[in-house]
Amino acid sequence: MTSMEVDSRVAVSWPTFVEAEPVMSALVRSRLDAAEHHVLATLRSDGTPRVNGTNVVFHEGDLLIGCMPRTRRADDLRRDPRCALHTAPDLPTLPEGDARLDCIANQLSVERTKLVFQRLAADSGVHQDGEPLDGDLFELRIRSASVVQVDAEQLTVTAWTPGRGLRVLPTG
Protein backbone atom coordinates (compact mmCIF):
# COMPACT_ATOMS: atom_id res chain seq x y z
CA MET A 1 0.00 0.00 0.00
CA THR A 2 1.44 3.40 -0.91
CA SER A 3 1.37 6.40 1.42
CA MET A 4 -1.21 7.98 -0.90
CA GLU A 5 -3.53 5.03 -0.29
CA VAL A 6 -3.02 5.28 3.47
CA ASP A 7 -3.65 9.03 3.46
CA SER A 8 -6.77 8.71 1.32
CA ARG A 9 -8.62 6.72 4.00
CA VAL A 10 -11.60 8.57 5.41
CA ALA A 11 -11.13 10.20 8.80
CA VAL A 12 -14.24 11.37 10.65
CA SER A 13 -14.86 13.59 13.64
CA TRP A 14 -15.68 12.13 17.04
CA PRO A 15 -19.36 13.22 16.73
CA THR A 16 -19.60 11.41 13.38
CA PHE A 17 -18.19 8.25 15.01
CA VAL A 18 -20.74 8.60 17.84
CA GLU A 19 -23.59 9.02 15.39
CA ALA A 20 -22.48 6.08 13.24
CA GLU A 21 -21.73 3.69 16.09
CA PRO A 22 -23.12 4.88 19.45
CA VAL A 23 -22.46 1.65 21.40
CA MET A 24 -18.87 1.20 20.24
CA SER A 25 -18.04 4.90 20.65
CA ALA A 26 -19.48 4.82 24.19
CA LEU A 27 -17.22 1.89 25.05
CA VAL A 28 -14.18 3.67 23.60
CA ARG A 29 -15.12 6.84 25.48
CA SER A 30 -15.47 4.90 28.74
CA ARG A 31 -11.94 3.54 28.27
CA LEU A 32 -10.62 7.03 27.51
CA ASP A 33 -12.37 8.43 30.59
CA ALA A 34 -11.14 5.58 32.83
CA ALA A 35 -7.55 6.86 33.04
CA GLU A 36 -5.83 10.20 32.83
CA HIS A 37 -2.93 9.06 30.65
CA HIS A 38 -2.91 7.09 27.42
CA VAL A 39 -0.33 6.13 24.79
CA LEU A 40 0.09 8.11 21.58
CA ALA A 41 2.21 6.90 18.67
CA THR A 42 3.46 9.38 16.08
CA LEU A 43 5.92 9.09 13.22
CA ARG A 44 9.39 10.64 13.34
CA SER A 45 10.81 12.29 10.24
CA ASP A 46 12.70 9.07 9.40
CA GLY A 47 9.46 7.07 9.59
CA THR A 48 10.20 5.29 12.87
CA PRO A 49 7.56 5.39 15.59
CA ARG A 50 7.67 7.70 18.59
CA VAL A 51 5.56 6.64 21.59
CA ASN A 52 4.55 9.10 24.31
CA GLY A 53 2.11 9.33 27.14
CA THR A 54 -0.72 11.77 26.47
CA ASN A 55 -3.93 13.12 27.92
CA VAL A 56 -7.14 13.50 25.98
CA VAL A 57 -9.99 15.91 26.44
CA PHE A 58 -13.42 16.12 24.88
CA HIS A 59 -14.30 19.71 24.10
CA GLU A 60 -17.47 20.77 22.29
CA GLY A 61 -17.80 17.22 21.00
CA ASP A 62 -14.28 16.98 19.59
CA LEU A 63 -11.61 14.56 20.80
CA LEU A 64 -8.47 16.60 21.46
CA ILE A 65 -4.92 15.93 22.58
CA GLY A 66 -2.50 18.53 23.83
CA CYS A 67 1.24 18.89 23.46
CA MET A 68 3.40 21.05 25.67
CA PRO A 69 5.15 23.88 23.82
CA ARG A 70 8.00 22.88 21.48
CA THR A 71 7.57 19.11 21.82
CA ARG A 72 8.80 16.67 19.23
CA ARG A 73 5.46 14.89 19.07
CA ALA A 74 3.78 18.18 18.04
CA ASP A 75 6.46 18.52 15.35
CA ASP A 76 5.74 14.92 14.30
CA LEU A 77 2.00 15.62 14.00
CA ARG A 78 2.50 18.82 12.02
CA ARG A 79 4.79 16.98 9.57
CA ASP A 80 2.73 13.77 9.33
CA PRO A 81 -0.68 13.83 11.03
CA ARG A 82 -1.09 10.05 11.15
CA CYS A 83 -1.11 8.74 14.70
CA ALA A 84 -2.50 6.02 16.92
CA LEU A 85 -4.00 6.33 20.39
CA HIS A 86 -4.15 3.36 22.76
CA THR A 87 -6.05 3.55 26.02
CA ALA A 88 -3.90 3.00 29.05
CA PRO A 89 -3.84 -0.52 30.46
CA ASP A 90 -4.64 0.82 33.92
CA LEU A 91 -5.75 -2.40 35.57
CA PRO A 92 -4.23 -5.88 35.82
CA THR A 93 -7.30 -7.12 33.99
CA LEU A 94 -9.32 -4.97 31.66
CA PRO A 95 -12.92 -6.10 32.09
CA GLU A 96 -14.13 -3.64 29.46
CA GLY A 97 -11.11 -4.26 27.24
CA ASP A 98 -8.80 -1.70 25.77
CA ALA A 99 -9.43 0.64 22.88
CA ARG A 100 -7.27 1.71 19.99
CA LEU A 101 -7.83 4.55 17.55
CA ASP A 102 -6.09 5.12 14.23
CA CYS A 103 -6.32 8.87 13.70
CA ILE A 104 -5.42 11.93 11.73
CA ALA A 105 -4.44 14.87 13.95
CA ASN A 106 -5.51 18.33 12.83
CA GLN A 107 -3.86 21.20 14.68
CA LEU A 108 -6.27 23.77 16.05
CA SER A 109 -5.77 27.41 15.16
CA VAL A 110 -3.99 29.64 17.68
CA GLU A 111 -7.30 31.40 18.39
CA ARG A 112 -9.24 28.18 19.00
CA THR A 113 -6.40 26.76 21.12
CA LYS A 114 -6.46 29.84 23.36
CA LEU A 115 -10.24 29.59 23.67
CA VAL A 116 -10.12 25.89 24.59
CA PHE A 117 -7.36 26.50 27.16
CA GLN A 118 -9.36 29.37 28.66
CA ARG A 119 -12.48 27.22 28.96
CA LEU A 120 -10.57 24.26 30.39
CA ALA A 121 -8.84 26.49 32.94
CA ALA A 122 -12.15 28.08 33.93
CA ASP A 123 -13.83 24.68 34.25
CA SER A 124 -11.04 23.10 36.27
CA GLY A 125 -9.18 26.02 37.81
CA VAL A 126 -5.95 24.62 36.33
CA HIS A 127 -3.11 27.04 35.66
CA GLN A 128 0.61 26.43 35.46
CA ASP A 129 2.27 28.56 38.16
CA GLY A 130 -0.40 31.19 37.75
CA GLU A 131 0.18 31.36 33.99
CA PRO A 132 -2.46 30.37 31.44
CA LEU A 133 -2.15 26.92 29.91
CA ASP A 134 0.06 26.86 26.85
CA GLY A 135 0.90 24.46 24.06
CA ASP A 136 -0.57 22.97 20.93
CA LEU A 137 -3.92 21.26 20.58
CA PHE A 138 -4.87 18.74 17.92
CA GLU A 139 -8.28 17.36 17.04
CA LEU A 140 -8.15 13.60 16.43
CA ARG A 141 -10.21 12.47 13.47
CA ILE A 142 -10.98 8.75 13.49
CA ARG A 143 -9.87 6.44 10.66
CA SER A 144 -10.59 3.28 12.62
CA ALA A 145 -11.44 2.20 16.14
CA SER A 146 -11.04 -1.18 17.77
CA VAL A 147 -11.76 -2.69 21.14
CA VAL A 148 -9.97 -5.81 22.35
CA GLN A 149 -11.70 -7.78 25.09
CA VAL A 150 -11.02 -11.06 26.86
CA ASP A 151 -14.07 -12.93 28.08
CA ALA A 152 -13.69 -16.38 29.63
CA GLU A 153 -10.23 -16.68 28.06
CA GLN A 154 -11.67 -15.86 24.61
CA LEU A 155 -10.17 -12.89 22.79
CA THR A 156 -12.66 -10.70 20.92
CA VAL A 157 -11.65 -7.86 18.61
CA THR A 158 -14.38 -5.50 17.48
CA ALA A 159 -13.41 -2.97 14.82
CA TRP A 160 -15.08 -0.02 13.14
CA THR A 161 -14.13 2.04 10.11
CA PRO A 162 -16.19 4.69 8.34
CA GLY A 163 -16.19 2.65 5.13
CA ARG A 164 -16.82 -0.85 6.47
CA GLY A 165 -18.81 -0.16 9.60
CA LEU A 166 -18.71 -2.44 12.64
CA ARG A 167 -17.41 -5.98 12.51
CA VAL A 168 -16.08 -8.63 14.87
CA LEU A 169 -12.73 -9.90 13.68
CA PRO A 170 -11.72 -13.53 13.92
CA THR A 171 -8.95 -14.35 16.40
CA GLY A 172 -6.75 -17.38 16.75
Using the predicted structure, report yes or no on whether residue 149 has a pLDDT greater than 80: yes
| Mean pLDDT across 29-41 | 92
Query: For position 1, what pLDDT does the model report?
Result: 37
Mean pLDDT computed over every residue of the chain: 86
What is the pLDDT confidence band of residue 39, given thresholds at 50, 70 and 90?
very high
Q: Is residue 159 in some structural domain? A: no
Can you give the residue range of the structural domain that contains 138? Answer: 3-145
100 falls within a domain = yes
State mean pLDDT over 14-30: 96
Mean pLDDT across the stretch 141-156? 88
DSSP collapsed to 3 states, the chain? CCHHHHHCCCCECHHHHHHHCHHHHHHHHHHHHCCCCEEEEEECCCCCEEEEEECEEEECCEEEEEECCCCHHHHHHHHCCEEEEECCCCCCCCCCCEEEEEEEEEECCHHHHHHHHHHHHHHHCCCECCECCCCEEEEEEEEEEEEEEEECCEEEEEEEECCCEEEEECCC
pLDDT value of position 58: 94
Cα-Cα end-to-end distance for the chain: 25
Model confidence band, residue 93 (pLDDT cutoffs 50, 70, 90): low
Quick one: pLDDT band at residue 133, thresholds 50, 70, 90?
Answer: low
Residue 20 has pLDDT above 60, yes or no: yes
Within-domain flag for 86: yes
Query: The CATH number of the domain where 86 resides is what?
Result: 2.30.110.10
In the predicted structure, residue 60 carries a pLDDT above the cut 50: yes
Asked if the structure places residue 27 within a domain, the reply is yes
On the question of pLDDT at 126 being above 80, the answer is no
Q: How confident is the model at residue 141 (pLDDT cuts 50, 70, 90)?
A: very high
Per the domain annotation, does 96 fall within a domain?
yes
Any domain includes 150: no
pLDDT at residue 44, as a whole number: 96
163 falls within a domain: no
Q: Count other Cβ atoms within 10 Å, centred on residue 140.
A: 25
pTM for the structure as a whole: 0.86
Rg of the chain over all Cα atoms, to the nearest angstrom: 17
Inside any domain, residue 41: yes
Per the structure, how many domains does the chain have?
A: 1
| Integer Cα distance of 23 and 18 in angstroms | 8
